[in-house]
């Protein structure tokens, strides 16, 4: 890790205790702001092309929609790594987040990690955010953010809920400066942030705090999310079953 990142992360550690109280002020978002307004800077569908070592392998998408006073965020992830036209690794993930009064009140996810089936449920309660996942039950802080990366306060966090495995990940985040990146086929000025800890990755947000790019290394391969325009068929993919036949639970279930 470079000295610049190390100094920035050390500063981030000292400021960690201020994040929970000050994040809304730093972003200009009052704590009582209605949930649908949290995603007001986003399009209805945010889409990324996923590349591994420069080769396209799939897509990540998020959809934002209001239902009454609630904000619903749906996540669709599907990619596969092929070798000589044979699929050697497949990853599929579906998630639904329900936000009310600026807080996550419900989370449901299903995942097929190359044949390993995983499911997570989370519900807000009086004692925090209760989670059931592959690693058992736990209670997270009431203001926990899930690992969908869209939330405008995300860069002020020091922990998040792993939506795939239902565990709490801890980390430090440092702002590395502004860069010109490609998004939607054109150059965009965006701030780059480095996350280091239980998970290591870099991500970029524009001046409106809209997520624009992500990069990380996993299983020996360099992965990059590049923002692209959604197509007319993409809306129908949210909530679709995994290739294993597993489907998301209906929204009305407990």
Q: How many CB atoms lie within 10 A of CB 239?
A: 15
Tell me phi and psi for residue 108, to 5 degrees. -135, 130
SS3 10: helix
Per-residue pLDDT of the chain (254 residues; tens, 9 = 90+): 433 333 333 333 332 332 333 333 223 333 445 678 899 999 999 999 999 999 999 999 999 999 999 999 999 999 999 888 898 999 999 999 999 999 999 999 999 999 999 999 999 999 999 999 998 999 999 999 999 999 999 999 999 999 999 999 999 999 999 999 999 999 999 999 999 999 999 999 999 999 999 999 988 889 999 999 999 999 999 989 999 999 999 887 65
Residue 202: closest CA among 220, 181, 219, 185:
181
Question: In this structure, is residue 250 part of a structural domain?
Answer: no
Question: In this structure, is residue 254 part of a structural domain?
Answer: no
**Domain range for 70:** 3-231
Question: In this structure, is residue 104 part of a structural domain?
Answer: yes
Question: In this structure, is residue 132 part of a structural domain?
Answer: yes
Q: How many CB atoms lie within 10 A of CB 80?
A: 14
pTM across the whole model: 0.85
Q: How many domains does the chain have?
A: 1
Question: In this structure, is residue 247 part of a structural domain?
Answer: no
Question: In this structure, is residue 83 part of a structural domain?
Answer: yes
Q: Which helix (H) or strand (E) element contains residue 218?
A: strand 211-218
CA 143 centroid distance within chain: 15
């Amino acid at each position: 890790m470079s000295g610049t990142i190390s100094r920035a992360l050390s500063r981030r550690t000292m400021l960690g205790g201020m994040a929970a109280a000050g994040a809304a002020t730093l972003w200009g978002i009052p704590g009582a702001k209605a949930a649908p307004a949290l995603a007001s800077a986003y399009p209805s569908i945010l889409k990324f092309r996923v590349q591994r070592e420069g080769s396209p392998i799939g897509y990540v998408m998020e959809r934002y929609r209001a239902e009454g006073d609630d904000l619903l965020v749906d996540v669709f992830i599907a990619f596969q790594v092929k070798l000589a036209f044979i699929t050697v690794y497949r990853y599929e993930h579906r998630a639904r987040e329900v936000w009310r009064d600026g807080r996550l009140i419900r989370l449901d996810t299903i995942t097929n990690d190359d044949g390993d089936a995983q499911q997570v449920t989370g519900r807000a309660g009086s004692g925090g955010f209760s989670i059931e996942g592959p690693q058992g039950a736990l209670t997270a802080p009431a203001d926990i953010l899930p690992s969908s990366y869209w939330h405008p306060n995300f860069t002020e966090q020091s922990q998040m809920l792993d939506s795939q495995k239902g565990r709490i990940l801890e980390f430090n985040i440092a702002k590395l400066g502004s860069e010109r990146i490609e998004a939607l086929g054109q150059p965009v000025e965006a701030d780059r942030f480095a996350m280091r800890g239980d998970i290591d990755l870099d991500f970029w947000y524009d001046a409106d705090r809209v997520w624009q790019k992500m990069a990380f290394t996993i299983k020996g391969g360099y992965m990059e999310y590049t923002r692209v325009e959604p197509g007319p068929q993409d809306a129908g993919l949210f909530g679709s079953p995994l290739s294993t036949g597993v489907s998301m639970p209906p929204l009305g279930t407990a």
